[in-house]
Homo-oligomer: A and B are copies of this chain.
């Protein structure tokens, strides 16, 4: 294991010179630089991360806190983990994956021990205890998904209101007049999750704006309940010609219900998912609004890096009066390109 001293010796210079060559924070003569770099290559020298971190109070690591429900797995978590890792790398950071079953303990440890410089909190819930804990510690933290209190911490989220409104507007533009909107599940709405609430808002404003007949229906995580509601909606007297779906967890199940009702997609019923991951679709090329994972990941890392710059580690910025609101990024939704919403069979 080569150290900076070994490199210096081999290059015939002082250790500090090697350090300066590495950091570039001082002018070094061309000859010296070359000698040093040759020595580095020959010895396969790598600076010890721990020594750097100890000195500089910066680890160049971001922590990603993934919520974990035992026995359950949400595909979106893994997807974001990978993309956020890519984004972090682009900014010179490594990513530490925290899947803590016991809530806030792991995050406290990582923050307190200086293992990471900032945290990204996924799947933020109302009254998430992690938010308070991180604020109390004065630890730079960014939320993926809006919390209830916009002034608390920086955050990034898809603009769910705009997304649902866009999907509905496009559906109307395709000629549909009777549209069903399948919103989030009961318990998500009851918990006033951001995406659930804002999605409903979007449906409301689209209905007002377009004047179309838009029926709003809640989903359910119980397949049986969901199936019953879908059958009700599709079997009603003035059945919808299009279905805009925000609750995608059971989309294949839902499509099976549609098929079982004797309806073909999209001839009899256009189906438009909102906030979709590729896996949600079961391989079907539906017109849709994708969840912009890469863009959200990039944005959340950018905010994390900014938060680190604003709160230099090593000093308690706890009593800092937070000059102004924390920043946020509301990501604009877009229809997936290259697909069009089929028109209704018989326009009414």
Task: Tell me the A residues contacting B by CB distance below 8 Å.
Answer: 1, 44-54, 59, 61, 64, 66, 68, 73, 75, 77-79, 81-82, 85-86, 89, 94-101, 106, 108-110, 112-115, 223, 250-253, 256, 278-279, 282-284, 314, 316
Contact = CB atoms under 8 A, between A and B. Distances in A.
A125 B202 CA distance: 46
Contacts of A68: 82, 86
Contacts of A109: 46
Given A47-B113, A73-B79, 19 more contacts: A45-B112, A49-B53, A54-B54, A77-B82, A78-B78, A82-B97, A85-B98, A85-B99, A86-B101, A94-B97, A94-B98, A94-B115, A95-B97, A96-B96, A250-B283, A252-B252, A252-B282, A252-B284, A253-B283
Contacts of A48: 54, 113-114
B316 A1 contact: yes
Contacts of A75: 75, 78-79, 279
Contacts of A99: 82, 85-86, 89
B106 A89 contact: yes
A106 B94 CA distance: 10
Nearest to A281: B252
- Number of copies of this kind of chain in the complex: 2
A329 to B, nearest CB: 22
Contacts of A113: 46-49
Nearest to A259: B259
A110 B94 CA distance: 9
Nearest to A80: B78
A171 to B, nearest CB: 24
Contact of A50 (B54, B66, B101): B54
Contacts of A52: 50
A162 B253 CA distance: 31
28 contacts: A46-B113, A48-B54, A48-B113, A49-B50, A49-B113, A49-B114, A50-B50, A50-B51, A50-B53, A50-B54, A50-B59, A54-B54, A61-B96, A66-B82, A66-B85, A68-B86, A73-B79, A75-B75, A77-B78, A78-B79, A78-B82, A94-B96, A94-B97, A94-B98, A94-B110, A95-B97, A223-B283, A252-B282
Contacts of A97: 64, 81-82, 85, 94-97
Nearest to A284: B252
A83 to B, nearest CB: 8
Contacts of A282: 252, 282
Contacts of A251: 283
A46 B82 contact: no
B85 A278 contact: no
A202 to B, nearest CB: 26
A273 to B, nearest CB: 14
Contacts of A278: 73
A100 to B, nearest CB: 7
